[in-house]
Amino acid sequence: MKKIAKLLSLSLALVLLCTSLSACGKSESGPSKIYTGGTAAYLDGIGWYSSVVYTLKLNADETYELTYQNYIFGTTDPGSKGLRTVIYTGTYTTAAAADGWETHRDVTLAPATHIYFEQHEKGFGRSAISGHCVIDTDNWTADMTTLLDPENNAMDAEAFLTEYAETITVTVEDPSLDTEDPSLGYRILELPELKLVTAAG
């Protein structure tokens, strides 16, 4: 009886191992390619630097995550003065780039189904959306409505997405399209103008 129990346990372990390995091999939800781009500027009036980085992650299941980060830091008074993070998620399609380059692709991002916005520190104290705040369309709260629409108290997650989720086309450089050119990188060639970032100030 003990031998049968051990045999059954061993068989079950082998089945679980095979199932797990099979699932790993078939997974299509992980990241496929990641592209980056950014800018930096010196804020002369206050002696701070502002660094902006965009990261576009294209998943194998044709979903995307576009992240915008603005980091503000001091020079004569070192340290963080502000960090703003905006994350858009949705679906995407790709096509040959309109500029004609074989190693470029135009990625069309459908309007986001989820937008996350967070900022903190005094660097955003005078922005249109100012101070420390979190806006998350998947986890909407009354405080978010008050922050964005204190007069009418009518803004909700759906209205926010209607206002700020937009179709965005991003041209990227993809080194996998020419593996013999070492100068290529996974780069965003032209940084998108995001309606929400412009409105936030």
CA distance 35 to 57: 6
pLDDT tens string 88-105: 999 999 999 999 999 999
Specify the pairing of strand 79-96 against strand 104-109: antiparallel
CA distance 171 to 107: 6
Measured torsion, CA atoms of residues 157, 160, 164, 165, in degrees rounded to the nearest 10: 30
Beta-bridged to residue 94, according to DSSP, are 107
CA distance 133 to 123: 13
**pLDDT confidence of 171, banded at 50, 70, 90?**
very high
pLDDT tens string 17-71: 333 333 333 345 556 899 999 999 998 888 899 999 999 999 999 999 999 999 9
pLDDT tens string 108-119: 999 999 999 999
Q: What is the DSSP string of 99-160?
A: T--TTEEEEEEPPPSEEEEEEESGGGTTSSS-SSEEEETTS--HHHHHHH-TTT----HHHH
